[in-house]
Amino acid sequence: MAEANVVPLDFWPSSYGMRVKIALAEKGISYECKQEDLEAKSSLILEMNPVHKMIPVLIHNGKSICESLNIVQYIDEAWNLKPSLLPSDLYKRSQARFC
Ligand SMILES: N[C@@H](CCC(=O)N[C@@H](CS)C(=O)NCC(=O)O)C(=O)O
């Protein structure tokens, strides 16, 4: 059963969107993905990411989190009872975030 309060806005060929879906899968979080048409953006994406108007966006409990690496870090911290997605070593963590 998908968690109704976890809604990634996605565009299926996007590697940035895939990054978010992998992070959710690694944490064992079920979700209901909404696919965006980037040629005709929905009012939802414009409302949830008014700055860049891009996917991916993670909507969690009605609040939006934007930018794939920021979303991955949010997922890691929000579901912190599961093993961390990022290395514990400070330098290795910074390397993992650099891409
Ligand atoms: N730096 C962003 C890049 C996201 C991005 O480039 N998204 C593309 C799809 S792959 C997009 O939404 N493009 C729509 C547009 O530029 O209007 C991230 O890491 O989330």
Beta-strand runs (E) in 11-62: 34-35, 57-60
CB 65 within 8 A of CB 57: yes
- C-alpha of residue 19 to centroid of ligand 1, in Å: 12
Report the number of distinct structural domains present in the chain: 1
CA end-to-end distance (rounded Å), the chain? 33
- Residues forming a β-bridge with 11: none
Does residue 1 carry a pLDDT above 50? no
CATH of the domain at 42: 3.40.30.10
Domain-embedded: residue 13:
yes
Domain-embedded: residue 45:
yes
Q: What is the pLDDT of residues 13-67, one digit of tens each?
A: 999 999 999 999 999 999 999 999 999 999 999 999 999 999 999 999 999 999 9
Q: Rounded distance, CA 66 to CA 11, Å? A: 14
Domain-embedded: residue 48:
yes
Domain-embedded: residue 27:
yes
Domain-embedded: residue 43:
yes
The domain containing residue 10 runs over which residues? 6-97
- C-alpha of residue 55 to centroid of ligand 1, in Å: 5
Domain-embedded: residue 1:
no
Task: List ligand 1's pocket residues with C-beta within 6 A.
Answer: 11, 14, 16, 38, 53-56, 67-69
Domain-embedded: residue 25:
yes
